[in-house]
Structure formats: C-alpha cells, structure tokens
Structure 1
Amino acid sequence: MRLRPYAWMPWPLRWLARVLTVLLVLALVLAGVLVYTVRRSFPQVDGTLRLPGLSGNVDIKRDRWGIPQIYADTAEDLFMAQGYVHAQDRFWEMDFRRHVTAGRLSEMFGKSTIDDDKAIRTMGWRRVAEQELPQLAEPTRRYLDAYAKGVNAWLSANPDASSRSLEYSILKLQNSSYAPEPWTALDSISWLKAMAWDLRSNMDEEIDRALAATKLPRQRVEQLYPGYPFDEHAPIVTQGAIRHGRFEASARPAPTGTPALFQSAAGTLDRIPSTLGSGEGIGSNSWVVSGEHTKSGKPLLANDPHLSPAMPSVWYQAGLHCRRLSDACPFDVTGFTFSGLPGVVIGHTDKIAWGFTNLGPDVADLFLEQVKGDTYRYKDQWPKLTTRQETIKVAGGDPVTITVRTTRHGPLINDVIGDVKPSDGANAVALQWTALTPGRTADAIFEMNKATSWQEFRQAAASFEVPAQNLIYADTDGTIGYQAPGRIPVRAKGDGTWPVPGWTGEYDWVSTIPYDELPSVRDPDAGYIVTANNAVIDPRRYEPLLTWDWAYGYRSQRILDRLKQETDKGKIDAATMTAVQRDTRNGFAQTLVPELLKIDVAGPAAQARDLLKGWDGAQDQDSAPAAYFNAVWRHLLKLTFDDDLPAGARPGGGDRWYEVVGRLLDTPDDPFWDDTTTEQVKETRDDILRQALASGYQELADRLGTDVKAWHWGDVHQLTLTNGSLGTSGIAPIEALFNRGPFGVPGSKDAVDATGWNAQKGYEVTAVPSMRMVVDLSDLSKSQWINLTGASGHAFHDNYWDQAPLWTKGDLLPMQSEPVHTLRLHP
C-alpha cells in the first residue's frame, strides 16, 4: 500500500500543509546556502599551505581568540606572511579602505558615494602617496612589496566572491562585475593618509569658529574657546626649554622668550582659544610609570586610543617574530597592527614598548582665496591655478569627471566639503595640510619595530611626520620617556585658529619646527608621564606654536591624580594600570552638581535631582545618577547654546564645554543664558538650570519609566558595532548580518573610560577606547591587551566580536596565549 502524505486531512489543510512544506524546504536550502557561503571564506588555520615566493617555512600560531603569532627566518618572509594573514581575516576591510583612500568607492557602490570620491580626489591622498613611495628607505619598500606578495597569494588562492567574504557575495547582487585588483605597496601607503585625516588636529574647530561667527561677534565666539587651565591640569612636559637649537629637559626658559604671537595671551591664559584638536570624541590615553613606583622595579606602560567604533575594529592584534634576531631579520614585536599595512603600530619588542596619543598640533589651515577664471590673487599678482582632471568610475552609471584646482596653499575644497564656505571678499577656500606633502612615516614604523633603546627609538620617531603623535616609551633597562614628533608648521603670522586671507601672503607657512626642538623628556623626576591629548607644554616656557586647541586635561589630570594616590599608598602593578583605564568618573560633576542642588525644582524632577546627592561622579552602566546627570548636561548645553549658534557649531559635549559652562556659572546674567527664541523673557542661569533639570527628567521618564531609581546609564548610553561599509546600507536584513549590538557601556566623553557621545544627537556611543594595552617591562609575557571586536572580519566567525564582552567590562587578555592552531606556510 502506498502512503499518501496528508491523506487524512481535508483538502484545504492538505494544500496548506504542502505549501508550508515547500516553504520549509526552501528555507532550509537557503539557510544551507547561506551557511556554506559564510563558512567558505573562513581562513584555514591548521595544516600546511604552499605560498609561492617564500624563501623558507613560516609558522602561524593562533590562540583561541584567533590572534596570530608569526615566526619566520627572514624579514621578507615575515611580512609576506603578515600580508597573507591580514588578507585571510580582513581582505574586504582592506579592499574597502583602499577604495576610500583612492577616491574610488563609486566603483564598488555606484552613485551613492560620488561625493565622498570627489572630496578625496580633490585632496589627492593617493597622488601624495605616489610621490611618497619612491622616497622611502630601500628596506621599507622591500617590506611593503613582500607584504603585497602575501596579500596577492591569498587573493589568487581565493578567486571567487564566496571564498573571499560574505560582503563580496552581497556586493555581487548590486555590482556583478566587480573584482578586486592585486594589492600594491601604494595601497598600504595610502592608508596612512586616511589615518592622518582622522587625526588632523583642529580643522573642524577652525570651521566651527567661522560658522559661529556668522551669528555671533568674534569676542563671543572666542568665549566658547577658553584657555587651557594650566594651573589646574598639568601639561605633559613640565620641565625644559629650547637651548641652542635643541629641547633640553634641564633648560630654563629665557626671561624674554615669549614671542609677539603670545604676548596678548601671556598675561591671561583665559583668552587662549582651545578645544580637543582631533575632533569631538576622538582622543587617547597613554601613560608610563617608572620602576621607582612599581612592585617589579621595572616600568609599566598603558595605552588606549579613542577612535570611532568600527566593525571590525580598526586594530588587528599580531606578533611578528624572527626566529633568530640578526641585522637581516631584526624583528621580535607584538602589538596592534592595521590590516593593509605591514609592521606593528603600537606594541612592544623584546626590549622596548611604546604607545601613542594624538598630539593634536595645528597642521591644517584654511586659506580664503580670490579666484578669477583660471587665476588666483597672491599679493599683487594673479598666478595661474594648477589644475588636473579626475575621472571617477561609477558602477552602473557613467563616469564623472571633476576639475581639481590648486593654489600655492593647497587644493580648493569649498565645492566638495559642505561646511567650508568662502567669506570676507573671498570666493574659494584652499586647504593647506602637512599630510599633502610626501613624508616618511612608513619608515618610522619599521624603525620603531626594531629599536632596542631610547636613542634608537627617538631616531625612529624623527621620521613619524604625520599624523603628529605623543609617543611614550619604556624599556627593560628601566628607562621611560616622552617624545613629540611630527611635521608642524611655522607661520609668518597668525595662529591657525581662524580661516585667513591667502592673497596677502601674511599667513603663509615659512618652515616647520625642527625635530630637535620638539618637546621631549627622559626619566622625569615624578617617575611617570601621562598624555591624554592635553597641552604638551606651557607656552610661557616654549616658543614654537604647537596649537591652542588641546583637550582641557580632565582625563590626564584624573590619571595623574589616580597614579599619585596609588603610588602614595605603595608600589603599583599591572592591575592598578587596568583599574585606572576603567575609571568612569565625570570630571565636571564636582562643579555642576552643587549648582544643580541649589535650584528649586518641583514635582517628579525633584526626586530625580535627589539622585545626585552624594554621587561620586562614577558613570557605571547601572548608575541612575549618571543617567540623570548626563541627561541634564545634554539639555543644559542645548538650552544654553543652540539658540545662539548655527547647527554645525553647536556643542557636542566634552571638556571644552566643561570649561565654557564652568565659567558661565559664575556669570548668571551672561547673554548665553538668555533664550533668544523667547522675545518677551530674559532667562538667567537659574532659569536654564531649572529647565535642564526638568527636561532631563522628562526625557528619561519617557524612555525608561518614572521610577528614577530604576534608571541605568547603560540603558541609554549604548554602543552599536557598525560595519563601516555594508553596515550602513540602509537595508535592515543586510545590516543585521554585519552589525552587532546595541549594548550598554560605562563611562562617557572625557572620563578616562572615554565612551563619547554627541549631545546634539543623543547618548549613543560615537567614540571608544578602540583597544587597551598594559605592557609589563619586568616580564613581557605578562603584558595584556584587548581589542574592541575581534581578530576576524568575517561575520559569524567565532572571532568576529568575541572580545567585545570583555572589552565592555574593562577586562584584558594575555598578549601571549597558548596556541590552539598552527598553520605552516612553505615555499
């Protein structure tokens, strides 16, 4: 007897069952296809593989987190293997980045990215990299070529989209003809321009000042950029001056050393305009403690760069080890790398360790220009503009051609950067930026990777020209140090804080600060060095202008205070360093909370305000006071300044606004307190504070309920790990494949645990400690690290975001873990 499925059912149900069965089968088939497609691109991590071009065997040992330690006998084999490993885990990220830096995103994504390409082609990042590459040292070029060979070996072994990554399979649905090109050394060098742009110092503030001046007189704009509080927040370097053309830590500044440029500011630092040089939320912490204060008697070094969150993280952890150290193979280095670039950017060798924070010098100026036809005015002449044609290929569309015009100051950018508008008799704006001149930063990376002493490290740092960084240093012999490198312009006139007329020639760059004159310190008396984008040195002891636009020292001073507290109690260890990295205290709470508690407020807002009584300023995920304080702070900023400023110049938050509001609290009738939209009423400080208390309560009550004690900061202060390409596609199912979160996080902007957010937009996290590292120079095997996401760039791989839960808690992993996979590459 033949069994007939569903025979017992009435025919309508039989029909429905058959349809459901077919749909289930199709769903299973599609799921199987998806699983196959996803897993096919996962890297091989065990066994052996042939890699043409190697001169000997290379071993790649990975721990459970997918972090590779690479062992080779020659430097070229080492970097070739690094290229192969980066491609295994992150080739889509690398390919996407090189299209960004070349202004070729439209070749991948079509017309939606044309404006991005226009902007980058106008600045000419890749053109500069083309000029830079032949100027690099011969070993650097060899290492770059070896790295490219490794990437291309992987690319050749994975010829179709599904074997490369899930992103390529999805891109095929939109752009079926796209195929990645072979990797080149130029692709690696171009990435350094993107890094420099992200850390480009105060250009955003320069634009913001000009925007604010469209609604306010200049004097009131400068009130929003107060001077650095040197008496309250120490600079990085507290001793030394320039003597005989060199910065010497023991030198005293000359009594007449304040130049005319600083005369108006020397008497009162309040008038110095300043903000975070690298943009809202972007910064970093680093510090080093000498063996004088440690339990081991050797230095400890900590670093956590603050960058925009990315999925996967911008960093890739790796170790690069020559099996036998020699002049031909001098590398034994572990740390954080950039996929697409050989070498280690931040980390330690077998003898030294180093970290970065953004120095934030003023290395970009906007010049207002007068252009007529194909000429521009300069003094009494009208020289010709330099012009070039740039053709942008567009997937699914016709090519787009733009004409890039350049003056002696740089490319004209007002047509491609929306917030840059000509004014004051000008009809164009040029950008002069140090990164648009070829440099040798790539040389510096390899030189630092093989340095064995403070002298060799300083020599290597001399080539680290853009972006200018604060470098901290420690070694196994016990030395600690700080060095400020970078190409920093010297201006004939002006300080770079406002756009200036280019046609007068008065504000031209005339030179750069010599490297030997840049601030440096070795083994300071205090026994520790802290950098957190704060002022490098008091301008009253140092003549060359670095910038006026620093962070205001709330993070750096908190770190200094914590270190002093801990070292006063006794010797410290790595656990102390980690605890300081996790510090969430809000540095402005001690100023603002007492003023809020003085305000009479009625109704439910009074219960919320009572949360602030006795609050210590800690901003943990579960904190109700932190949630309410930050809501009040957000509304206080918006109520005080949004009516006075154009949209592009309104406060996002951060320690510049701590200083601005802190000073306004002492002047209750200042015009900024008045709400200009209420014509019949003149508000004062207390009116705005009262309204901020009420508005902060109402916002959180609407979102979290009326039980104020049940509010949690992490319920509104949340991080979404967003893929930088397809994660913002606007197509929800595709975004769900690549994005992770949201999840609550502690901290806030300008806490040491700096999880930034923008007061204009909400509490969602916009900047994070992108990694954390603590290096123990007494035993490098005890050093620790954590990445924001994970090693893998493949969605659904076990190592795609496996470090994120640990990162959220502030936990660290050992930098040397037991390997669980071994892959041998052979010629």
Structure 2
Amino acid sequence: MALIFRWLVRLAALLIFLTVLGVGMAYWLASRSLPDYDDEVTVRGLTAPVEIVRDNANVPHIFGKTDADVFHALGFAHAQDRMWQMILLRRTAQGRLSEVFGTATLNIDKLLRRFDIYTLSVRSVEALDAETRAALEAYSAGVNARLDQINSEALGRGAPEMWLFNAPMAPWSPADSLAIVKLMGLQLSGHLEAEVIRARTSLALADPDRLKDILPDVPGAGIAALPEYAALVPDAPKFAKNIPLDPHPLSPFKHLAFAGASNAWAADPSRSASGGTLLANDPHLGFSAPAIWYLARLELQSGGVIGGTIPGIPVVLTGRSADLGWGLTSAYVDDQDVYIEALNPDNSNEYRTPDGFRKFRTRSSIINVKDADPVTVTLRWTENGPVMPGNHYNLASITPSGHVASVNWTVLSDRDTSIQAAMALMHAKTVEEGIAATESYIAPAQNLTLSDHKNIAMKTIGALPRRDANHQSKGRMPTRGWEKANRWDGMMPYTANPEFIAPSGGILGNTNNKTVDRPFPNHVSYLWGDTQRIQRWQRLMQNRQVHTRDSFIEAQLDTISFTARSLLPLMGAELWFTGEAAPDKTPERQRQRALTLLAGWSGEMNEHMPEPLIYAAWLRALQARMIQDDLGPLADEFSHVEPLFIERAFRNIDGAAAWCDVLQSAPIETCPDMARLALDDALLWINETWGTQLESLRWGDAHQATHDHQVLGEVPVLRYFVNIRQSTSGGDNTLMRGRTKGTEPNPFYNVHGAGYRGVYDFADPDSSVFVTSTGQSGHFLSRHYDDMAQLWRRGEYIPMSLDQELARAAAVGVTTLRPAQ
C-alpha cells in the first residue's frame, strides 16, 4: 500500500510539474510577441530617423522628418499593438476568414465576396491623389517593417492568437486600408435591413394603418404617404420563416439597432466660459477587446494632430490639431436601396431592365476553407448592384418566385476617395477648410462637427443618391429594379448636403437625430437613429448660459433617461398607488413595491439602483405583449423598444391603442390592462433571474459592458483573461449610451456604446482630454490591454496634449526607427 501511495504521489508531482511547465512554455511563447517600446529598429523606406514616444498611457507620439516617415511609423506602431486585430479586419473585408476558422465563418465570407468590397478597394487606389497614395504606401511599409522584425527576431509570430490560428500573413498594401474603411461602412449602415423589415411588417399587418405606429416616422412635416409593399411587388410571400442573423462574433452584419450611433456637440466663444470654442465627441460602435479605437499623435508638416485612429487606417478620424477639432456621428443618410429584379423566364442568366433583358455580370470566386473542401461562389451583379442571397436579412421573405434581390449602395464605389478626404481634414486649419477638405468623402455618410478657434459648424459628408421624384417607395422599401423611376441618377452635389455654420444660438450638436426636414427627393433620410437622447441634450445645453469643458464632460456622462421620464407616467397612469393592500410574497404586493420604487425615481439609469432594471424589464415586456399577436414570428425582429410606438399607443394617436388589444382573445384589452400584465411579466422574470428582493437589485449587474475578445472570448478558462466585463450605468436612450443586447440570455448586457470619448477646449487646447474603453494594446498579457477600462467606466479621461515634452516626461518607452543604409 505504501508503494502504491508513493507512486501516486510521484505521478501527481509529475502531472503538476508538466502542467506548470506547459503553462510556463505557453506564457513564454505568448510573451515573445509583447513589443519592446524601448528599441531601435532599422527599416527600409525612411528618409530619416523617426521617434515613436509612448506616453504613460501608451499613446504613441510620432515625430519624423516627412509626413511619409510619420505614416510609416504609425503603421509600425499599429502593427506592434494591434497586429491580430488588423489581420482579422483585413480577412473579414477580403472574405477569407474561413481559411483560418473553417466552416464556422463560411457564410460571412460568402456575403463579403458578394459585396466584393476588396476588389472595389483595389480599384479605388487608382482614384486617389498622389499625396494620399504616398501616405498609404508609407503606412503599408511601416506595417510590413514590423512583420519583417517579427520574422527576423522570432517575436512570437506577432500576437498570441497567431499560435492558435496560424496562417500565412501577406504584406500589407494600400488597398487593405481602403477595404477596412468600406468594412466600417458596412457595419454603420442599416437601411437594407430597415427596408426589408418595413416590407415584411407591411405584409404581416392586417390593418395597414398600423404600420406608422410600429415603424413611426420621426415627428415633423414633410413625410409623404407610401404605398404598401404588396402593391409595389405583387406576389411577395405573405408569410415566411424568420432566418436569424449569423451570431458569430466576427460577423460584420449587425441588426439595425446596432447600425451605428454617436454624440457630438460644440459651442462657440459666446457660449463658452473660457472664451474659446468647445467640442465633444463620442462615437458608438460594438464593444470588443481590444476596442476598435487606437489613440495616436502624428506630428505632420502642417502641425500635430491627436485623437482616435482605427488600426489599419492611417488617419486620425476624430480628434484635434492645434487649430481645429473634428468629431463624427452617424448621419443615417439613406444610401442603400434594395431592388427586386425579375429573371427572364426563358433564361435565368438574364434579368429585366428598362431596356429589356440583360445578362448578369458574373464571376466565380473560390473560398478556401480550413479542414474542408474549397467552396465556389458565383457572384452576380445587375446594373443596380450585387445580387444578395435570400437569407441575408430575410430577403427571401419579400422576394417573389422568379425574382432575386440586389442592393445599390454608395460604399460599392470603385472610385472611393473617402480616405483622401480624411487625410486632407488632418491638414485643415479652419472650419471652412475642413468642410472643403471633405468634399471628396463618399461613404459611410457622417455628420462632421468642427470647431476652430472662433467658429463651429456641422456638415453632412458622404454621397447622397439622386432619386427620381416618382420613385415608388421613396427608398423606404424594396422596389422593382426594372422601373427607371426607381433607379438612382448619380449623386447629389456636395452643396446639397446639410450644413450648419456659426449658428445664432452658439451651440450645435447631433445625437443621430433628424437634422433636416426637406421634401423627397432632397430629404436625406426617413430613418434616423435617435428621437430621445436629443431631448435630454437640448435640456442640458439650454440650462447653462455658458459651458465649460467639464459641463461638456457631464453631458457625455449623463445617465438621465428622457424616455423613462416620458413613458412611465403613461404606463403607470392607472396603476400608481391604487388597489387594496396585498399580502406579502404575493404578485400583487410585488407589483406595489415595484410601482412605489418607480414613482420616486428620477429616471437616472445608475448602475447601483434597482429602478432602471425594473423599468427596462417592464418596457421590454410591454412591447412584446403588444406586438406578438399582431406580428407573430416577425416580432422577434423588434428586439429593442421603440419609444415612439409606446407613446403613440398609450396616447391613442390615430387609433394606435388598437395594439393593446389581443386579437385572439374575446375581451377588448386596454393599454392600462397591457401595462399591468407586462409589469407582472417583468417581475416574474426578475424574480427568476435576479431574486425577489427588489430593493437589492443593481442595474449594473444586468447592464454589464461586454468588451469580449472576438475569437477567444468563449474559450473556457482563457475567456477570464481576455474578456473585460464591467458594471455600467446608462441605457439605450441616455446620452451616456449603453445599447443593450436585446435578446436572451442577458438581454440587458451593454454591447454597443462609446468606445472613444474626447472633449476639446480651444481656449486651452492642452487641457483637452480623451479615453478609450479598453487600452492601447491588443495583447492580453500587456498591462496596456485594459488599463483605460476602469477610467472609461468611471467617466475619467487622460490628457490630450500636443506638448512633446509632456509626452517624453513620463514615457513608457521610445522606439527609434532608422533608415536602412
């Protein structure tokens, strides 16, 4: 027995030793790719030495003799910190994820190949001016210099993920950067899905007048009546199976609720306590670890610029120079149209046009798949655009037999000069120069907010399609592709894009709200991203005669929900403090406790409070009850509450209270009935998920920000090292926006919000501040992987200074790139 015990002890010791050895080896291999920021590297393509000074937040400050040298060093810095992220973005744009991840990403690749954005990017390089091409080539050379260093010095393949998902890395090229710009456009546009949902809802509703309730127009004049989809496209399927989007975390195809959002506002000297202009910007994108944003300072020949870049794109997209600040918000321009194309009954290789049948433009594309046979996809294009598969946003559900769907979209330009405009913006000194610089910008459409030392402005940049006044759906629903009136007639002139310069009130801003009210076809859009945050923003801006950097920060971090303050009185109008006393531990008593908490609540979506969770669960349950019997399976597409819909129903605007009646039941339910039932539903869900002690609930437990690693985020054990989860305040409709997931499980997870925040004060530019939601490094063993995460969560910032000495004073390292002899 003693002998057996000794051998068991030896075996256990051996297993422990091997485990420790294995972990040690894994750590050593992974840590090999941690960049050395105190380094000298000899590289090809430089005219003179370049310094990359990394301040104490690991923000690179790049100093070089020429602009080309600076962009070269930015490429090197991006590749040092975010190599894996850049490779993923490039593979996604190319439709080549399956070479690494196998069949799990095959559907993503098929869709990206059909859009063909990488081919369009290659062609667009030739449309750029010489200065922009030179910058892109220099940037590519910098990325490739880091690749050469990784290979020559055996630096762990550049990133820990490369050990797990090893695949050849092609050199970086200018087209790769353009493709990532187009990929961002894909993530920021939701008009395709909006058209399909409007068409499907039109087909599903028994009463066509109810369409304006569930898909309401933003209040304001100028919205024309539209025909129903059945009249536009006869024989469209009345009922069809709902095909959910691919949930893979690498998929760039997101639901309309996550199609892009942002905040930006500015004040001129008359409304600024400091006497200089103020600008705040926080773009909203899906959360990930690392964040999509990377902070950088570039010392160009025209002066220094500092702010947020996206790895792979050599441009400060939001930030400031010494003279000009700029911020971006999604403009929601209607830059996509879906067309139903009629096939030739005698030849399925042809489709109908205004001039008769014409052959599809076709090309075969081979997708290599890891551990599986290659897949060949036949790409088809019409005069309107690429043909889409029926499972993309459920296009099959609105496409009649003998037809296919195509999409026209400004991103699908092969003469795309958007990056050229962004480059020119970094050199602009005034608001007027900034507006002029962005005339060549194509897509994705953005609202550009500008401030120089004296003036402020906002300009919608991006191509606006020119539509015929007789367009059958005004771009709101899919239409017949062979009707000439439905087709685009080029683009509107840049002067037609909305602009607001030197407003008389001294303040302007955008929260993705409706900015102009112009009749079709000069309307810009019928779909806007916000009707709620703008109400709170107006209140905060008007409450002060003058503003400061700190008051702009307060607005960015504001968590008061205008939506809660406006809807709760309607929802609880016949429930507050009514009814007899109920015994403890009964549903009636729980309902009374919930109503008592909500009656004294200010609408603040604070992470430490129980009321936001009760309110959010009630509102979600209410919309679900109101639409399920009318829409059936289509109700699943409405995963987020539409506040205007709830308000229309409870105020019975144009008979909208009909939504509160359950069609299949004999009694006629009222909206107060539905509110009471929904509150019981919400409390039952809370009891089962979070417990029965309502006063002990925390909104932040349900509203966790999910900065998850896109590839390793679901790997057991490893996910605890690579994912960043945080309790957060805010919600769907607060200025500090934390867009909720909307689907089970964990419907209130915070998955989409401000990955970058910046506030710039031009009375004292070096007092400007910014922050990102994770950290600069994409390497999970680096201390800079998540060192900004807690700052971001607490609403804190780091300095945004162009002072070279301040950057050097507490630098974590200086990398010197020297030209090869």
The 5 A counterparts of 1:315-330 are 315-322=293-300, 329-330=301-302
Between 659-668 and 592-601, report the one with greater CA deviation.
Answer: 592-601
Which position in structure 1 is the counterpart of 2:243? none
Judge conservation of contact 1:774–1:784 (CA < 8 Å) in 2.
yes
The CA deviation at 1:593 is 1.6
Query: Paired residue for 2:139, among 144, 147, 159?
Result: 147
Contact 2:651 2:657 (C-alpha < 8 Å) held by counterparts: no
Deviations 1:68-99 (A, max 9, x none): 11111101110000000000000111111111
Give the match for residue 500 of structure 2. Answer: 521
2:723 to 723, 730, 739: 739
Equivalent in the alignment of 2:290:
312
Evaluate the alpha carbon distance shift between residue 50 and residue 221 of structure 1 in structure 2; reply closer, same or farther with a 3 A threshold: same
From 159, 178, 182, the counterpart of 1:189: 178
2:138 pairs with 1:162 = no
Unpaired segments ≥5 residues, structure 2: 227-253, 580-587, 802-806
Q: Distance in 2 between matches of 1:111 and 1:805?
A: 37
Amino acid at match of 1:136: L
Match of 2:733 in 1: 750
The CA distance in 1 between the partners of 2:270 and 2:393, in whole Å, is 52
Distance 1:692 1:415, change over 3 A: closer
Task: State how 1:351-750 maps to structure 2 within 5 Å.
Answer: 351-372=323-344, 373-379=348-354, 381-415=356-390, 417=392, 419-421=394-396, 422-424=398-400, 427-438=403-414, 439-476=416-453, 478-492=454-468, 493=471, 494-539=473-518, 544-567=522-545, 571-595=546-570, 596-599=572-575, 602-647=588-633, 650=636, 652=638, 657-667=642-652, 670-676=657-663, 678-727=664-713, 730-741=714-725, 743-750=726-733
Structure 2 counterpart of 1:356, one-letter code: L
Shift of residue 483, structure 1, vs aligned partner? 0.8
2-side partners of 1:469 and 1:663: how far apart? 30
| Alpha-carbon distance, 1:778 to partner | 1.3
Q: For residues 526-545 of structure 1, give each alpha carbon's deviation from its aligned partner in whole angstroms, at most 9, with x where no partner exists.
A: 101011111111226x9612
Amino acid at match of 1:629: Y
Aligned to 2:203: 214
Q: Deviations over 1:768-826 (max 9, x none)?
A: 11111001111221110010111000012101111111111211111235423222221
Q: What's the CA shift for 1:491?
A: 1.3
Match of 2:84 among 88, 92, 99: 92
Q: Is the 8 A contact 1:669 1:685 kept in 2?
A: no
Partner of 2:583: none
Instruction: State how far apart, in whole Å, the 1-side matches of 2:12 and 2:412 are.
Output: 61
Deviation per CA, 1:257-300: give whole Å up to 9, x if none. Answer: x8xxx5659xxxxxxxxxx9964473110000111121210011
Query: 1:202–1:182: structure 2 CA closer, same or farther, 3 Å change rule?
Result: same
In structure 2, what is the equivalent of residue 228 of structure 1? 218
Q: CA distance change for structure 1 residues 427 and 199 in 2, over 3 Å: closer, same or farther?
A: same
1:572 to partner: Cα distance: 2.4
Please state whether the residue corresponding to 2:358 is helix, strand or coil. Answer: coil
CA distance in 2, matches of 1:591, 1:77: 55
The alpha-carbon distance between structure 1 residues 141 and 281, as it changes in their structure 2 partners (threshold 3 A), is closer
| One-letter code aligned to 1:362 | D
Give the whole-Å Cα distance in 2 for the aligned partners of 1:286 and 1:808. Answer: 19
Maintained 8 Å contact 1:188/1:340: yes
State the SS of the aligned residue for 1:466: coil
Q: Deviations over 1:204-245 (max 9, x none)?
A: 2111112223321443223222222349xxxxxxxxxxxxxx
Summarize deviations over 1:22-79 as a string: whole Å, max 9, x none. Answer: 1221122112112212211111101322222211111111122211111111011100
Q: Contact 1:58 / 1:70 at 8 angstroms: preserved in 2? A: yes
> Are positions 1:793 and 2:793 aligned together?
no
Equivalent residue letter for 1:592: L
Separation in 1, partners of 2:556, 2:45: 43
Residue of structure 1 in register with 2:21 after alignment: 29
Name the amino acid aligned to 2:107: D
Residue 385 of structure 1, CA deviation = 1.1
Q: Secondary structure at the match of 1:513?
A: coil
Distance 1:162 1:352 in 2: 41
Q: 1:764 — aligned with what?
A: 749
Does the 8 Å contact 1:618/1:626 carry over to 2? yes
Counterpart of 1:234 in structure 2 is none
1:334 aligns with 2:309: no
Q: What is the CA-CA distance between 1:606 and the residue it aligns to?
A: 1.1
Q: Which sits farther off after the overlay, 503-512 or 792-801?
A: 503-512
Q: Deviations over 1:285-319 (max 9, x none)?
A: 00001111212100110001111111111110000
From the superposition, tell whether residues 533 and 153 of structure 1 become closer, same or farther in structure 2 (CA, over 3 Å).
same
Structure 1 segments unaligned to the other structure (5+ residues):
1-8, 173-177, 232-257, 266-275, 323-328
- 1:794 counterpart letter in structure 2: H
Which one of 241, 244, 269 corresponds to residue 291 of structure 1? 269
- Tell me, what secondary structure is at the counterpart of 1:460? helix
Q: How far has the Cα of 1:738 moved from its partner?
A: 2.5
Contact 2:704 2:749 in 1 (8 A): yes
The whole-number CA distance in structure 2 between the counterparts of 1:406 and 1:712 is 52
- What are the superposed Cα offsets for residues 136-155 of structure 1, whole Å, 9 maximum, x if unpaired? 01110111000011111110
Q: Would the alpha carbon gap of residues 649 and 598 (structure 1) be closer, same or farther in structure 2, given more than 3 Å must change?
A: closer
SS at match of 1:377: strand
Greater Cα shift, 625-634 or 211-220: 211-220
Give the conservation status (yes or no) of the 8 Å contact 2:61–2:299.
yes
Paired with 2:7 and 2:529, the residues of 1 have a C-alpha distance of: 69
Q: CA distance change for structure 1 residues 161 and 647 in 2, over 3 Å: closer, same or farther? A: farther
Tell whether the 8 Å contact from 2:99 to 2:368 is kept in structure 1 after alignment: yes
Match of 1:241 in 2: none
Report the counterpart of residue 584 of structure 2 in structure 1.
none
Distance 1:598 1:297 in 2: 50
- For 1:40 and 1:589, locate their aligned partners in 2 and report how far apart those are by CA, in whole Å: 51
Q: Using a 3 Å threshold, how does the CA distance of structure 1 residues 736 and 263 change in structure 2: closer, same or farther?
A: closer
1:263 and 1:623 map into 2 onto residues whose CA distance is 43
- Corresponding residue for 2:244? none
Letter in 2 for 1:94: M
1:766 Cα deviation (Å)? 2.4
TM, length-normalised to structure 1? 0.88
Farther off after superposition, 731-740 or 480-489: 731-740
Q: Tell me the amino acid that sits aligned with residue 589 of structure 1.
A: A
2:718 and 2:691 map into 1 onto residues whose CA distance is 32
Could you tell me how far apart the structure 2 residues matched to 1:576 and 1:418 are?
41
Counterpart among 69, 75, 81 of residue 67 in structure 2 = 75
Partner of 1:6: none
What residue identity is the alignment partner of 1:366?
Answer: V
Equivalents in 2 of 1:446, 1:331: separation in Å? 13
Q: How many correspondences in the alignment?
A: 759
Give the Cα separation in 2 of the matches to 1:669 and 1:352: 48
Q: Structure 2 CA distance, aligned partners of 1:661 and 1:456?
A: 44
